[in-house]
A and B are shown apart, each in its own frame.
Chain A
Amino acid sequence: MAKLRSAAGLETLRADIVSRRDPGKRCIAVCAGAGCDAACSAAVVDALREEAAKKSIDVKVTGCHGLCEKGPNVVVTPGELCYFGVRPEDAPGIVAGTAKGVRMDEVPFYKHQMRLLIGDNPRIDPTRIEDYLALGGYAALSKALFQMTPDQVLDQVKKANLRGRGGGGFPAGLKWETAKNAPADERYVIVNGHEGEPGAFMDRALFTGNPHKVLEGLIIGAHAIGAHRGFIYTRHDSPKLIEHIETALAQAEAYGLLGENILGSGFDFEVEVHFDVGIFVSGESSALMRSIEGNPPEPRPKYVRTSVSGIWEKPSNLNNVETWANVSQIISRGADWYASIGTEGSKGTKLVSLSGHVVNSGVAEVPMGTPLRTIVHDIGGGVADAKPLKALHFGGPMGGSIPERLIDTPLDFDALAALGAPIGAGGLLVMDDGTDMVDMARYFLEFLTHESCGKCVPCREGLLQMLKILTSMTNGKGRNGDIARLEDLAEVTGMACLCALGKTASDPLRSMLRHFKDEYEARIPAGG
């Protein structure tokens, strides 16, 4: 295929792709996301293909649709009819149109969502850039390159108040501006696709299912910041994710959307893929940058920010997969539109990985400000086995738990942080009334003691000592003074560690000592 060398060329290509597609033609989209894949969606694809070959019906293998609990999932267009738990023997009925499906907008799990980022997943074969182009892909890049200056792009991202989705909620526009203005001869942009948090799977769902959406955001960001080199840091253990990223890069390059002289604009940008080294701390910004340099992933003190001095001491702008995925719609639909969604301080939508004791586990996307009740009960379908809800935990091993009575709290960076349960990356763990909160804290600390780098004392030793105390408490061997020891360790770990892993490692424990202290006291003889 010939490289596109102008905005008009891109639109001509898009018109050509669209004109070859008959919107009335039936298409069967089979989810091959992690959950459905494990539920043998590949056999369903084979059966559907065999059946569909007899008629003129397309079968598309796509990324995650969202409702992983009920996989393998199939969606038939036009009409967006959903079929759940599909088995190979259901193929004839689905192809013939006799099997009864449910319209997507009538499925409770989907109807309370606003799927701006993940909604295209059922419409896209992630290995075909044409599917992304047919849905308007790379129009935002073209607009940013030809109708806007880099400063105007930056301004839109700032005005949209896009905040980082990787855990910290830091304003993306401010970070971009710092990296853009830091004096240097070279600067870099990076996608953080490490997603090492247990219970978080939304980045993989988005990146595997729609890699061009992330890539388009990255290229727009690179242009705004003035970077000509970018890095995608991602999981070494997800073959499909790697394949889709590499295919996307190759196809974008072949169309002239990446590489030299993008769309004839004169802007050059290349992207390299790097793999994590399998420990959680490698997702931390400075550790990730050391890893890209080829060093062990040990965090550096950030008295100078990585946006000023990162990879090879050059300004390096790191954003999360979901953060980058938000960029193209901000450019195409405008900051005012974007900022109209959400709350005062948290704009846009947020992907949430629902797991734990919930009926519908999976990936949901809701506007910021949505009450947690809607997420858990309407979208999630409530607590599994109709048990009472006890607590909700956000942010995995660096997050926190809140009790059921706070379920009307809105999904909002600041509101949840104030309660000690920051959104983090968006992993939401639902806990029923049988959950042992001492054991939950122990579980998270056990994870982190083996996933830190081990360099600094209050993290390496503090976590280990907290783990020992919690383990003995869960074994019925709590001692007087344990709670005071835990509180001291948690406080010092929070103040004295080098990186955010250590600094926030005691947050789950602290949130539980705040909201569920009685359960801890009950483990100490005579109230301790």
Chain B
Amino acid sequence: MNGSVEQWSSIYYMLSLLAFMFLILFNQRIQVIMWLMNITRVLKKLERMVDECRSTLINTMRKYGCTLEDLNYTINELLEFYVIEPVERDPFGVIRRLEHLINLQRGKFREIVGRLAPKADDVTRKNIENMIEASIAVNTLYRIVRHFFILGKKTKSMLIIAQLEMALPYIMRFAEAYFNAIKVFSQGKPLGDGIGPLVAGKLMLNAEKKVVKDDTVIAEVPFEGRRLIVIKALGPGGEVGKPGKVIEELVEENGGKVARIIMIDAALKLEGEKSGDVVEGIGAAIGDPGPEKFRIEEVATRYNIPLDAIIIKESLEEAVGAMKKEIAEAAQRVVDRVKELIRERTKEGDIVIVAGIGNTMGIGQ
């Protein structure tokens, strides 16, 4: 009996000593292995997301009359689509060049969707374009994570692995936001980002609308002696239009005699701020890659027109997800705010441009 107790305690002692040595010698390796395990898990999740994006796209294309045999191959190719940004070392005309590239990208997507989903109507076609864009975003994140994962494993660089592991929660937030957005896009429901067009639509509700080129709608609305020109993208397909170009042309048309330009857009909130809060500022409230914003700032500066910005705060998930109740309800508050602003800062007879910026999916006019 006594012997067995001694035997046990010595084995126990040896074991704990070994464990102690092991931990001291290999603590970094263990840490790296744990990081790698975590990255593998997330990578698998991202892979599943990309697979699901792909199958959603394929199902949608098939539903709208795609008869292509190797659709899978075409979609894979599409998911790797990229745009090479223009040179910025010689900044002359960089915005013009960027705009050209964006137009090309738009045209390309339009052509591809027209070919892959020939039976889709105009609205669905635009929604599919949005789905493709979100799928490309998810796929790009997946490829980047996979790249650094393999690179870290190959080079056994703790730095790369640690950095990747620590950035993962942030990366996954983006990936999940875009991934969930695809479902909303396929259903064509209004997005959180659609608050700008929603407000513009409310302002032009009973007025006569005119579709100008580049999928943008304008309406002239008389308001307490002023002439409001309201702009929004053409709905209800997922579309952002070309508000910059249209505003520029409208100002030129009126010989620069525009009293104010008011822009309404959703903006990313900081953590801790409340969604649906309405804030006022100055400047061109538009989140495009550059050309539209540039045009607006340019024309406003040239004719010395004050630029008012009204933004509605949202998180990224809310902006690309289905419109939440608190944001939809903010729309009426924004309309009242715009009216008040116009009463306060313009006089009768003035021309005021009001632009609702954002994706108009699920929002008509």
Are A and B subunits of one complex? no
